[in-house]
Amino acid sequence: MTDPFADIRPYADEEVTAVVARLLDDRDFLDTLSGYRLGGLARLAPFACRPLVRALLRREVRGVHDVRSMQMVIKRYMDRMIERSTGGFSVSGLDNLEAGCAHLFMSNHRDIAMDPAFTNYALHRSGRDTVRIAIGDNLLTRPWVSDLMRLNKSFIVRRSVSGPRELLAASKHLSAYIRHSIVDDNAPVWIAQREGRAKDGVDRTEPAVIKMLALCRNKREQSFAAHINSLRIVPVAISYELDPCDALKARELHALAQHGSYEKGEQEDVQSIGQGIAGAKGRVHVSFGTPLCGDFEDADAVAAEVDRQVVAGYCLHPTNVYAYRRLHGDSLPLPADLYLEEGDCSEAEFAARIDALPEAQRPHALGIYANAVSSKLAATGAA
């Protein structure tokens, strides 16, 4: 039987062994790992480093024979990453979700790799199924990157197609796969509320994402609201005390403000992924909302409800308040219960972090943190 989603879906259990073997023979993949693990030595003598890295990798994956065992390898790295780069990890809202029932988790988007990774980690810790992760093909710059992502239950969002007809066909295909995952496979899915990260710290759902989800609807048999309700969309708010990519984002935002455009470097997304994984994040919180269920008229109404829940669930940190007061002054009163988490980063440390940036970029860096406060105040009518 032909698999209609073979071109975009994650790898199945029976494909894992062959893909792992392919990765162990991929020179580009081995050279990239050598560079991370062995630094300058890998550049000087890649031919000598490859066998060593291959042997280390073979030992890491010797028990990998299906998707779950692969994710257990990834979990070990997640445990280490959380210990080394965060000041703590907390979760709220999972008790509102029916166990054993697949949901479409639609989260705010601050970090390329870590947003779905932390969502997954929260679900796994609570004994729930991990998610199938939507990832843009613009990030899959090399074959081994695609292999790694699809081993970790990622499916491909084709953004690089040319022409409106091709784009519509790709979007319908994606829409059908997401619905198939939720309704037919009872497999949870993670998708960002927007294409691209909210680099300015303003979390807003793009109605185009909702419209894509509705493309596979049979209009004669199902209303728009019934289709949306069948996907069991759960808004997710992920908050970081510190954004490891704040300097990179501030530089881009300043360039956009000054020149109206920004030319992204060839490997800039890869740099952002690495910085997001390894960089200090302070405390991290993942807040799960409640499944969307209502008589939604259109995509704008759905986007508004996702936004409402993301802003309400977003866990502010003291760094958000430091930035807000530095931008707007201490004279603006803030509710005493506005933020929930204690912080690892002191006000002096945060000020030094911002002041290390070029002066023209500092307001943009502050906005990355402060805009979450502004969104909260606007939602409560306090702004």
Domain boundaries, the chain: 1-65, 66-380
CB atoms within 10 A of CB 32: 17
Alpha-carbon gap, residue 177 to 213, rounded angstroms: 10
Q: What is the pTM of this model?
A: 0.94
* pLDDT the model gives residue 37: 62
The answer to whether 131 and 189 have CB atoms below 8 angstroms apart is yes
pLDDT digits (tens, 9 = 90+) for 137-182: 988 988 999 999 999 999 999 998 988 999 999 999 999 999 999 9
Contact partners, residue 223, CB within 8 Å, separation at least 6: none
Alpha-carbon gap, residue 134 to 361, rounded angstroms: 31
* pLDDT the model gives residue 334: 78
pLDDT grade for 380, boundaries at 50, 70 and 90: confident
Contact partners, residue 179, CB within 8 Å, separation at least 6: 213, 216, 230, 231
91: phi then psi, degrees, rounded to nearest 5: -140, 145
Q: What is the mean pLDDT of residues 54-69?
A: 93
* pLDDT the model gives residue 142: 87
Q: What is the mean pLDDT of residues 177-199?
A: 97
Burial of 221 (0-12, 13-18, 19+ CB in 10 A): exposed
pLDDT digits (tens, 9 = 90+) for 36-55: 665 555 565 666 778 888 99
Record: fold of 66-380: Glycerol-3-phosphate (1)-acyltransferase (3.40.1130)
Element holding 285 (H helix, E strand): strand 282-288
* pLDDT the model gives residue 332: 66
Please list the residues that pair with 285 across neighbouring strands: 90, 239
* pLDDT the model gives residue 42: 52
* pLDDT the model gives residue 300: 98
Helix, coil or strand: residue 237: strand
Alpha-carbon gap, residue 95 to 288, rounded angstroms: 9
Stated length of the chain? 383
pLDDT grade for 269, boundaries at 50, 70 and 90: confident
* pLDDT the model gives residue 373: 95
* pLDDT the model gives residue 333: 72
CA nearest to 105, candidates 311, 308, 306: 306
pLDDT digits (tens, 9 = 90+) for 99-142: 899 999 999 999 999 999 999 999 999 999 999 999 999 889 88
pLDDT grade for 199, boundaries at 50, 70 and 90: very high
Alpha-carbon gap, residue 188 to 140, rounded angstroms: 22
* pLDDT the model gives residue 262: 87
Least confident of 28-32, 42-46, 140-144, 369-373: 42-46
pLDDT digits (tens, 9 = 90+) for 313-349: 999 999 999 999 999 987 767 777 777 667 889 999 9
CB atoms within 10 A of CB 185: 13
Least confident of 29-43, 61-75, 336-350: 29-43
pLDDT digits (tens, 9 = 90+) for 201-252: 999 999 999 999 999 999 999 999 999 999 999 999 999 999 999 999 999 9
235: phi then psi, degrees, rounded to nearest 5: -65, 140
What mean pLDDT, rounded, does the chain reach?
Answer: 92
